[in-house]
A = this chain, B = another copy of it.
C-alpha cells in the first residue's frame, strides 16, 4: 500500500486534475474499442491538445509510459482510477429537491464509477419521505446531520435557492463535509479544508452571450 501517490510534494492544479478526468473517460472508451496501447501524440489528436501537456499531466503521478511504445491503456485506467480516488466509493447527498436537485439525484453520472447518491434533502412536507423516480429517498432537512453521518456522505451537492446557500454551506461544513458542488449563484465562504466547485449556469450563458455579441473577441 503506497503512502503517497504523488511523485513530488508539489500541489496539483485543477487544470491537471480536470484533464485527468477527461483522459480517463477517453481511455475507457479506447479499452472498449480493444485498443491496447496509445501514444501521447495520438491522444493529443483526439483531444486537440498538445502531447507534451498530456505527458506532463500523467508524469505528475509516476512513470506510466514506456518509451518507444506509449501507454498501456489498461495500466493507465488502473492508475488514473486510483489517482482520482475512484477505487473508493463516494457517497453524495443532494440538498434541495427542486427540479434541478431531483434531476441531478437521478442523473446517471452521479451513479457511475466511484459515486452514488444516497440522500436528497428538502424541507417541503409534500416531498419528504417520498422517493425520486430512481428511488433516492427525500429526507427532511432536520435529519441532515444524522443522515450525513449515518450514510458516511463525503460530497454534498447544493441545489437550493441562493438566499439560503451560504447558510447551507456553513451547516454542511460544520457537519464535516469536505467537498461541495455548488449550483447556486452565490460566492460561498468556506473553511480552507473544504473543496468547493461551482457550476454557474448564469456565467456560462452570459459567456455565450458575450461571444455572440462580439465574434471578433474570440480567442
- Chain A residues with a Cβ under 8 A of chain B: 4-6, 9, 11-14, 17-18, 20-22, 24-26, 46-47, 83-86, 88, 90, 92, 98-100, 102-104, 106-107, 109-110, 112, 114-115, 133, 154-155, 178-181, 185, 187, 193, 195, 197, 199-219
Contact = CB atoms under 8 A, between A and B. Distances in A.
Quick one: which of A26, A99, A206 has the most chain B CB within 10 A?
Answer: A206
Given A211-B179, A212-B155, A205 B100 contact: no
Contacts of A21: 200, 202-203, 206-207
A85 B210 contact: yes
Nearest to A180: B208
Given A99-B107, A103-B99, A214-B5, A205 B155 contact: yes
A47 B199 contact: no
A195 to B, nearest CB: 4
Given A12-B219, A100-B103, A109 B212 contact: no
A193 B215 contact: yes
Contacts of A26: 187
A209 B116 CA distance: 12
Contacts of A217: 6, 11-12
Contacts of A181: 204-205, 208
A48 to B, nearest CB: 8
B102 A206 contact: no
B84 A218 contact: no
A24 B205 CA distance: 13
Contacts of A86: 206, 209
B205 A85 contact: no
A24 B202 CA distance: 11
A113 to B, nearest CB: 9
